[in-house]
């Protein structure tokens, strides 16, 4: 059964507080956000009283309420109010320790108080321009109207302050209890208003372990092409949150099944066309999802975006390199080289940071190298080069390579793990002797320039790289050996006379 079907339902204990909607009475179905809200008293209560004293209404809203019900409320709280931005700033004056209005054009004022970050946004009743998909900001008059315009019913709940009335006009609490993502209005209209919500649905599936309502899935499939109207930066932010969620496989599967991945990561659904050479999985796509899950199981310091991306994309070069050999054996020669180039191109288009692009591409490039080790042909030089090429990515490379074993043959799987154990032992042994993490030529740049009589420039760099290759091949040299090697190279290159 796919991992996506194993979802933990929120553990909703007894409810606390009143409700403004008898049709969606919390009752014993859930622990309302009020309980979690108490953890932030007196900040939230104080803020509610200030707004009430000024004649305005204030509500804890959206993801803050959802996360409170799920027992995962963060210290960043979102509020909505009938007060206009200028009025909000006036109410906060003299009480907030810091106020910022970078979001004021959208009606949002940020503030900090006692280490808690808060955002207060005026009731919204946005429309969208239908071209750029940017909201045309319009302020609303009621919290119900504000909630109906939100993306999903699970994010369309509120708690009024300071009286703590629970507001749930769209049935968000019931949806939360069922673990279902649905939209407050028709999903086609909601997604057409803001196509980024298509990707947010997949992101919430990953983060919360929910499923999407059938009508939402249908709308996602129909409107998936609309995602190409969203900027790469916004798409990348949602994709990263999805990959860092607790159930990224479920999020990726939803993207692929609805066509969102064809817009965002087309290389991933393309892998469904290729049967892997071991015939142990339905296709390379299924294999890659399993590798990603196994890599996640090996994380030790929390979610690792670099590792998860590398695991998901490590075989994307296979469709382009697939060949049918004699005997109907399928090969994917040099798919790691092609895959690394494809990875770099895709991540650049998604506007990922350069360092992350470099790291993920290098992991994809190196992930297959270990498979030559089991033949017993690796010299100490090959081990040194493996470590040096991985550099600071070595621990991630260990996790990726170990995760890339998805065979159901237990004996073969155990043999692969033992072989990698042996490689790690050799790395540890040579590292202890030679400090592989800091492999450098036996002569530095100053010594090279002095011995060759050259100024700083390309020749020094070429000489340095040659000496490093020698060091990797032969291990440490003493000073005389290093100088003799440099002079021999320089004579062969015509840099010094023979």
Question: Given phi > 0 = left and psi -120 to 50 = alpha, else beta, which region is 443?
Answer: beta
Measure Cα distances from 259 to 25, 97, 255 in Å: 37, 46, 6
CA atoms within 13 A on the CB side of 60: 37
Q: How confident is the model at residue 133 (pLDDT cuts 50, 70, 90)?
A: low
pLDDT value, residue 381: 81
Mean pLDDT of the chain: 85
The H or E element spanning position 446 is helix 445-452
pLDDT value, residue 129: 54
Per-residue pLDDT of 245-271, as tens digits, reads 999 999 999 999 999 999 999 999 999
pLDDT at 213 over 50: yes
Q: How confident is the model at residue 375 (pLDDT cuts 50, 70, 90)?
A: low
- Output Rg (C-alpha) for the chain, integer angstroms: 29
Check if CATH label 3.30.9.30 holds for domain 3-178: no
Pairing of strands 116-122, 18-19: unpaired
Task: Please indicate whether residue 93 or residue 136 has the higher confidence score (pLDDT).
Answer: 93
Task: Please indicate whether residue 406 or residue 280 has the higher confidence score (pLDDT).
Answer: 406
Q: How confident is the model at residue 294 (pLDDT cuts 50, 70, 90)?
A: very high
Per-residue pLDDT of 434-488, as tens digits, reads 665 556 777 888 888 888 888 888 888 888 888 888 877 777 788 888 888 888 8
Q: How confident is the model at residue 13 (pLDDT cuts 50, 70, 90)?
A: very low
List, as one string, the DSSP characters of 286-352.
HHHHHHHHHHHHT-SSS--HHHHHHHHHTTTTHHHH-EEEGGGEEE-TTHHHHHHHHHHHHHHHTT-
Question: At 37, phi and psi to the nearest 5?
Answer: -60, -35
pLDDT at 240 over 50: yes
pLDDT value, residue 47: 94
Check if CATH label 1.10.110.30 holds for domain 179-264: yes
Q: How confident is the model at residue 26 (pLDDT cuts 50, 70, 90)?
A: very low
pLDDT average, residue stretch 327-356: 93
pLDDT at 309 over 60: yes
Q: 0.85 exceeded by the pTM?
A: no
* Residues 170/158, Cβ–Cβ less than 8 Å: no
């Amino acid at each position: 059964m796919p991992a996506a079907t194993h979802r933990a339902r929120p553990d909703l204990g007894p409810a606390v507080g009143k409700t403004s909607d008898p049709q969606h009475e919390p009752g014993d179905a859930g622990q309302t956000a009020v309980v979690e809200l108490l953890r932030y008293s007196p900040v939230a209560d104080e803020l509610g009283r200030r707004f009430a004293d000024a004649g305005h209404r204030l509500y804890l809203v959206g993801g803050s309420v959802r996360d409170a019900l799920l027992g995962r409320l963060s210290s960043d709280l979102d509020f909505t109010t009938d007060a206009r931005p200028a009025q909000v700033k006036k109410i906060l004056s003299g009480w907030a320790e810091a106020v910022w209005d970078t979001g004021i054009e959208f009606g949002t004022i940020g503030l900090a108080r006692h280490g808690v970050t808060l955002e207060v946004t005026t009731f919204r009743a946005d429309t969208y321009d239908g071209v750029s998909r940017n909201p045309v900001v319009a302020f609303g008059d009621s919290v119900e109207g504000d909630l109906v315009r939100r993306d999903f019913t699970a994010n369309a709940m509120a708690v009024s302050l300071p009286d703590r009335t629970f507001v749930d006009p769209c049935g968000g609490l019931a949806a939360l209890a069922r673990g279902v993502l649905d939209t407050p209005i028709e999903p086609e209209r909601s997604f057409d208003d803001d196509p980024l919500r298509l990707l947010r649905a997949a992101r919430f599936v990953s983060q919360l372990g929910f499923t999407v309502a059938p009508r939402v899935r249908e709308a996602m499939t129909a409107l998936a092409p609309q995602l190409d109207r969203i900027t790469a930066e916004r798409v990348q932010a949602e994709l990263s949150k999805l990959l860092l969620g607790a159930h990224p496989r479920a999020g990726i599967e939803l993207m692929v099944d609805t066509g969102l991945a064809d817009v965002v990561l087309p290389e991933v659904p393309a892998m469904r066309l290729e049967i892997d050479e071991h015939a142990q999985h339905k296709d390379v796509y299924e294999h890659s999802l399993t590798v990603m899950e196994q890599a996640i199981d090996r994380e030790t310091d929390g979610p690792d975006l670099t590792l998860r991306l590398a695991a998901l994309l490590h075989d994307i070069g296979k469709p382009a390199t697939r060949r049918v050999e004699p005997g109907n054996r399928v090969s994917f020669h040099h798919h790691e080289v092609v895959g690394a180039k494809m990875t770099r191109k895709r991540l650049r288009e998604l506007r990922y940071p350069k360092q992350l692009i470099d790291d993920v591409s290098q992991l994809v490039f190196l992930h297959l190298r270990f498979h030559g080790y089991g033949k017993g042909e690796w010299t100490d030089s090959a081990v040194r080069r493996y470590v040096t090429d991985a550099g600071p990515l070595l621990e991630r490379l260990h996790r990726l390579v170990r995760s890339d074993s998805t065979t159901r043959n237990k004996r073969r799987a155990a043999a692969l793990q033992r072989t990698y154990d042996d490689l790690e032992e050799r790395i540890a042994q040579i590292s202890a002797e030679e400090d592989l993490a800091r492999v450098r030529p036996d002569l530095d740049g100053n010594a090279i320039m002095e011995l060759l009589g050259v100024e700083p420039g390309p020749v020094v760099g070429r000489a340095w790289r040659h000496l490093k290759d020698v060091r990797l091949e032969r291990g440490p040299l003493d000073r005389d050996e290093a100088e003799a090697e440099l002079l021999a190279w320089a004579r062969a290159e015509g840099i010094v006379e023979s």
